[in-house]
Chains A and B, each alone.
Chain A
């Protein structure tokens, strides 16, 4: 490296760094400041209240507790379904069959769509009387089910989970599938020569080698689901009541419908900390893998 490069290397990153500082670091500090003040649209004074907003949210706010619970439900159930389905499909697709390439491409279309469109599609597809999903279910079961898809707390959660699964299982599938394809062939071949069947090979030879990829996929999805927002606003609109209101949606409502900025920023700060913990784990895995 020349002496000239010593400051030149910084010139190359400075425009990016300035943007990132202005639009991420400054807002974070500003949010931290706001979260420690009491905000009330009616009163001009904004007294400093230490961590009262945090205490309020965690210990007294029922709606915040509800949002945490809803987010956790979506997180756990949706990831489980997507990981199992994605893994299953990746194994299924790892063999050869007709039209494999075109089928794979079609299967990947949902993950390229805006989540907003997926939410809208879920809404019109599940609406009773007009939507096609209740129609098909009634047809298959040969009876009137009359499930209140969007107006029952349980079924509304099912709609969100199905919409997210429809969109993101292809993503999980694609990554695991590429992982399987990049594995060395010799151990699989020699196991086959030794008389192992497909399921044994999948379970004892392929799966252990996919450990890192599964963890990375899991963490990327976990992080996305913690931020679930778009699909909900377009499909159930957090309803019925607040039964599908996630943390992001509640924080949004606190800030832009109730103008309770202190509580909103406190809520977003707690979410930020949780996500930073997940993120540092994910980055550790990504860089471990990159350096291998």
Chain B
């Protein structure tokens, strides 16, 4: 019994320690967003801003933050919708007809893991030739394409679990394949579809490498704007930068809580159910 008590205390200590380690860095950027410049560049570091204000947020917003946020929101929303809309019929086809055989499905999944830098170089050349650098179209094309493998593979797994009888019954009622997909399959996917959509949204929102390479500093997303602060010769703008970092993570955290249902299954590509 005594050993058991020690174990319980040990467990609580570890859990509290981990929790503190998780929260401290988050608290630090959130607090830094509310500090005055003399406070975030102060030795020793000051934790609690003495006169918290939104001036960093205002500065960040007017100094490119607003554009970055708008760009990110437009690009992320459209790419996510496109990837899911194109992904559902493909996933259905792969699940019901095993279109192209197993190797075709594996090829699609494998793209998810390949290094973006290997594609980014030739794509940047290609986009320069087609005038797609610094355009919404360019980034939306890239994000839609590179998230398709994830959407298709995960939804394929979910559709595999929907009984074939549903398709057959609908077909007897005279439904075509398209009608089956959006009348029967999509409603049955329910929370699985929500998780996939939210994760795709998070992937696109966070993406940095393509966004960095496929712009000439006119069309920047939130991650690119965040990185630009370091290359500007204006000193350490940690206050506004922290403000931008904070508004970049809050939507993601909210979304992650909504989409928690099938998150493990989606993140392991169906290996863990």
Contacts and interface: CB of A to CB of B under 8 A. Distances in A.
Interface in A262-283: 264-265, 268-269, 271-272, 275-276, 278-280, 282-283
Interface residues of B, number: 96
Interface in B224-273: 226-227, 230, 236, 238, 241-242, 245, 248-249, 252-253, 255-257, 260, 263-264, 267-273
B122 A30 contact: yes
Contacts of B194: none
A12 B18 contact: no
Contacts of B102: 287
Contact of B44 (A31, A121, A135, A182): A135
Contact of A130 (B42, B96, B145, B222): B42
A108 B252 CA distance: 12
Contacts of A52: none
A166 B113 contact: no
A20 B45 contact: no
A15 B110 CA distance: 18
A85 B270 CA distance: 23
B256 A108 contact: yes
B223 A103 contact: no
Interface residues of A, number: 95
A256 B42 CA distance: 36
Q: Identify whether the interface residues of A are mostly helix, strand, loop, or mixed.
A: helix
Contacts, number: 271
B195 interface: no
Contacts of B108: 16, 20
Interface in B199-231: 202, 205-206, 208-209, 213, 222-223, 226-227, 230
Contact of A9 (B93, B122, B227, B230): B93
B90 A16 contact: yes
A125 B28 contact: yes
A23 B123 contact: yes
A178 interface: yes
Interface string A111-141: 0111111001110110001111001000000
B148 interface: yes
B141 interface: yes
Contacts of B236: 130
Given A5-B177, A106-B23, A23 B226 contact: no
Contact of B115 (A12, A170, A248, A286): A248
A125 B96 CA distance: 51
A256 B25 CA distance: 32
A87 B264 CA distance: 15
Contacts of B106: 280, 283, 287
Nearest to B152: A16
Contacts of B89: 12-13, 15
Contacts of A240: none
A120 B245 CA distance: 8
A272 B141 CA distance: 22
Given A175-B264, A264-B121, A269-B118, A279 B249 contact: no
Contact of A227 (B96, B117, B122): B117
Q: Most chain-A CB neighbours within 10 Å: which of B25, B32, B100, B230? A: B25
Contacts of B137: none
Interface of B: 7, 11-12, 14-15, 18-19, 21-26, 28-29, 32, 40-45, 47, 86-87, 89-90, 92-94, 96-97, 99-100, 102, 106, 108-111, 113-119, 121-126, 141-142, 144-146, 148-149, 152, 157, 177, 202, 205-206, 208-209, 213, 222-223, 226-227, 230, 236, 238, 241-242, 245, 248-249, 252-253, 255-257, 260, 263-264, 267-273
